[in-house]
């Protein structure tokens, strides 16, 4: 947090103001408003107490149905995500279909692909990635996330290379961000066995951020792979 915001946050905690216990005490005394209910829901969400968060977000959606409210928008997304994680495969797809103008669509797709990856549901994960890229064809984060994941599971590597190179072009005006995407390109090339090209590519990332130990480690990994390949040839 910025210093001023951090200080205010610490003062609130010290004075037990705008904390979960504060919000709950005020709610139980009859101080009921969208701000109080949303405050309770978000505090529970921060604590990963999703069942309690869902309870209060449900109250918020039912009693304060204002589609223009940030609280309402966040609540709708949380509840759809909660239903999805708890077994309703269609919850997030329905959320996207029912809320075409809301801002959480990328987050919805990201939650789907991460969940399917964590639960090893590969076909559903790949389908979710296809839908995400169809919806966000020019989003560097979507393209980069897809390419890195394809490198991890060694699937669709040619397509991953095409997508990540597009992301590199799209981030030309942000070199630091672009360096991370170039690293993904190098990783895909490494998984494809194109070792010389992987080394050449990671050197482009190092040219942008020569102090990065991570990029140096990546380069060393690629070089070691090339040595191993030449020795076994």
- The string of pLDDT tens digits covering residues 102-127 is 779 999 999 999 999 999 999 999 99
Task: Determine the Cα–Cα distance for residues 104 and 141; give it in Å rounded to an integer.
Answer: 14
Where does the chain have alpha helices with state H? 3-14, 20-28, 34-46, 50-63, 70-85, 91-98, 105-118, 122-135, 140-153, 157-170, 175-191, 195-208, 213-232
Structure tokens at 205: 């990332």
Q: Go through the domains of the chain in sequence order and give each one's CATH number.
A: 137-233 (1.25.40.10)
pTM of the model: 0.83
Query: What is the rounded average pLDDT of the residues 30-53?
Result: 95
CA distances from 37 to 26, 50, 153, 187 (A): 10, 15, 42, 45
pLDDT of residue 16: 62
pLDDT of residue 230: 87
User: What value does the mean pLDDT of the chain take?
Assistant: 93
CA distances from 179 to 38, 44, 136, 169 (A): 39, 37, 21, 11
């Amino acid at each position: 947090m910025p210093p001023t915001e951090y200080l205010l946050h610490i003062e609130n905690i010290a004075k037990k103001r705008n904390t979960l216990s504060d919000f709950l005490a005020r709610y139980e005394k009859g101080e009921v408003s969208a701000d109080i209910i949303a405050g309770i829901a978000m505090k529970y969400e921060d604590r990963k107490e999703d069942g309690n968060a869902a309870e209060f977000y449900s109250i918020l959606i039912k009693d304060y149905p204002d589609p223009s409210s940030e609280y309402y928008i966040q609540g709708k997304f949380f509840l759809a995500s909660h239903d999805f994680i708890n077994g309703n495969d269609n919850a997030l797809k329905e959320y996207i279909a029912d809320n075409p103008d809301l801002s959480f669509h990328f987050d919805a797709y990201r939650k789907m692909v991460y969940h399917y990856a964590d639960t090893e549901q590969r076909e559903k994960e790949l389908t979710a990635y296809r839908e995400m890229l169809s919806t966000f064809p020019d989003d560097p984060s979507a393209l980069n996330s897809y390419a890195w994941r394809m490198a991890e599971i060694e699937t669709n590597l040619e397509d991953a290379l095409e997508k990540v190179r597009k992301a590199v072009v799209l981030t030309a005006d942000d070199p630091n961000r672009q360096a991370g995407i170039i690293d993904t390109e190098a990783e895909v090339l490494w998984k494809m066995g194109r070792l010389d090209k992987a080394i050449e590519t990671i050197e482009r990332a190092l040219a942008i951020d020569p102090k990065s130990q991570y990029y140096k480690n990546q380069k060393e990994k690629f070089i070691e792979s090339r040595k191993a390949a030449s020795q076994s040839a």
